Amino acid sequence: MTTVYFVRHAKPDFSIHDDLTRPLTKEGLQDSKRVTDFLIDKQIDHVYSSPYLRAIDTIKDFAKRAQLHIKLVEDFRERKVSDEWIEDFDGFAKRQWQDWDYRLPDGESLNQVQRRNVAALRELINQHPNQNIVIGTHGTSMSTMLNYFDHHFDYQFFNRIKHEMPLIICAKFNGENLVDVEEFTINELN
């Protein structure tokens, strides 16, 4: 059994519009310590992350305490919405979940996001059988990966977790088959 802890980043500073360099807020940095406390006894073998600063910073303290190197995986990056900041993110997200091929100019569809994220995830699952893995990730990326294995992870799930930052999803895989999922919100990270 391979266990993957998907760690959705803590609260980011939305005043910074650059996706790659958007940092965590002070609260987000504090919450990342709770992520560390939750993961520290889970016997993690490998730590991977999206290259986005907020994902890295959410798991950086854990990796340091566990003496593990964070390996960046470009394909775990968040969906590219557009080159422009959009004001009605909720309307955009709902439309994308209704039409997985919908995208804005210079943006990605959910199908594109899912394909690259799942390919990277499958590679790690096959590379590290029967090990425990942490992946620093994002709401859309994580939701599309989970949706690939179980369609119950749909728009309602995505919409429900949109303000859950950080959020940890513990997914157990038998080979490439998802067999169990547990969700841990910030209030459950003791």
Query: What is the per-residue pLDDT for 93?
Result: 93
48-77: pLDDT as tens digits: 999 999 999 999 999 999 999 999 999 999
User: What is the arithmetic mean of pLDDT over 151-171?
Assistant: 96
First-to-last alpha carbon distance for the chain, in angstroms, is 25
Q: How many domains does the chain have?
A: 1
**What tens digit of pLDDT does each residue of 101-159 get?**
999 999 999 999 999 999 999 999 999 999 999 999 999 999 999 999 999 999 999 99
Q: How far apart are CA 179 and CA 57, in angstroms?
A: 29
- pLDDT of 182 reads 97
User: What is the reported pLDDT for 20?
Assistant: 87
29: domain CATH number is 3.40.50.1240
What range does the domain containing 180 cover? Answer: 2-188
Q: Assign 88 a pLDDT band (cuts: 50, 70, 90).
A: confident
| pLDDT above 80 for 84 | no
Task: Label residue 189 by pLDDT band (50, 70, 90).
Answer: confident
Share the mean pLDDT of the chain: 95
The yes-or-no verdict on residue 180 having pLDDT over 90 is yes
pTM metric for this prediction: 0.95
The reported pLDDT for the residue numbered 190 is 62
